[in-house]
Amino acid sequence: MKHRIQIPSWVRQHRYPYTSWREIPENKLQELRNGLARFLTARPVVSIVIPVWNEEKNLVRTLSTFASMEIPVPTELIIVNNNSTDATQEILDKLGVRTVMETRQGIAHARLAGLRASRGEYELCGDGDSMYPPRWIKTMLRALQQEDVTCVYGNYSFLPTARSSRVALGAYEIMAESLFEFRRLRREFLNVRGANFGFRTAEGIAVKGFEMPVTRVFDNDEKSGKFVVFGEDGRMGRKLGELGKLKLVRSPHARIWTSSRRLLKDGSLFNAFMKRIGKETGRLMEYAAGPKKLTHTTDSFHA
């Protein structure tokens, strides 16, 4: 329960006091470059893929968590730049991070480009506005290596802002994770979120989980004509679930911390809570007793 109201010390050390990444001292940037250079390996066992689009404000702290992360096996870090127009690419170049450019706009295109560029036996997926605990690679990999497990995923907590306290966010997370537990009965793939999951690279390619006929944009605005209900992360989870087991990794070493900007896009945490309640109430029977095989999925979408 402690993590519901307190931010872990490892998170605090990566929350830089600078208003811009350009204010970071050169010696600190060199420290980050040195830490991230460990991911420049010729024969990776694990590939970490992070799609980004205009993440200038968040990217340095995300990369900082990787710069100090434990690397139990040879691991590569791939950042997929999906047409960023801010200083995202400049940051990546400055820190010496391997980058793949994907010009087709949409997060599914970016994740697919990263998957095709991956050389590791295993792939871990992340986001450019999230922070990853020091043992994240080790914890996720250990779970993924278990027999019959084809996809692993972890939980997440939200970073507080001026509009939301950590206590309130913690209460929201408890509610959300209770729902996640209920969905595991018949719709566990909906719990698979792009910011924190992993699979075997060959199986991800084989099931074509990221090959979406229609792809969502990064903000996935429900008012947009491009809004996609089942995203590429859930689709990959569903496809991999047909091959084996999905596994929730409950360890705090698999819990990431992420921006609350999307959660608060409706104005307040209360609005977000009420919207979620309204959306999910009608689906409870489906989660508990719905058919295992879905008839309406992204498989039937047409561009």
In a domain, residue 300? The reply is no
CA–CA distance, 52 with 84 (Å, rounded to integer) = 7
The pLDDT score that the predictor gives to residue 217 is 65
* pLDDT band (50, 70, 90) for residue 26: very high
In a domain, residue 230? The reply is yes
- The number of domains in the chain is 1
C-alpha distances (whole Å) from 265 to each of 37, 51, 240, 273, 303 are 36, 21, 31, 12, 27
The pLDDT score that the predictor gives to residue 302 is 43
In a domain, residue 54? The reply is yes
β-strand partners of 224:
none
The pLDDT score that the predictor gives to residue 134 is 98
Using left for φ > 0, alpha for ψ between -120 and 50, and beta otherwise, residue 83 falls in left
- Residues 6+ positions from 165 with CB-CB distance below 8 Å: none
Query: First-to-last CA distance in the chain?
Result: 45
In a domain, residue 129? The reply is yes
Q: What is the mean pLDDT of residues 88-106?
A: 97
| pLDDT digit string, tens, across residues 136-168 | 999 999 999 999 999 999 999 998 887 788 888
pLDDT at 219 over 70: no
In a domain, residue 195? The reply is yes
**Of all residues in the chain, what percent carry a pLDDT higher than 90?**
64
For residue 212, what are the domain limits? 2-159+190-259
Q: What is the mean pLDDT of residues 23-41?
A: 97
The pLDDT score that the predictor gives to residue 303 is 40
Q: What is the mean pLDDT of residues 109-134?
A: 97
In a domain, residue 183? The reply is no
pTM of the model: 0.89
* pLDDT band (50, 70, 90) for residue 181: confident
**Which helix (H) or strand (E) element contains residue 144?**
helix 136-144
In a domain, residue 179? The reply is no
| pLDDT digit string, tens, across residues 234-283 | 999 999 999 999 999 999 999 999 988 777 766 676 677 677 666 667 67
In a domain, residue 14? The reply is yes
pLDDT at 81 over 80: yes
Residue 55's CATH number: 3.90.550.10
pLDDT, averaged across the chain: 88
The pLDDT score that the predictor gives to residue 231 is 85
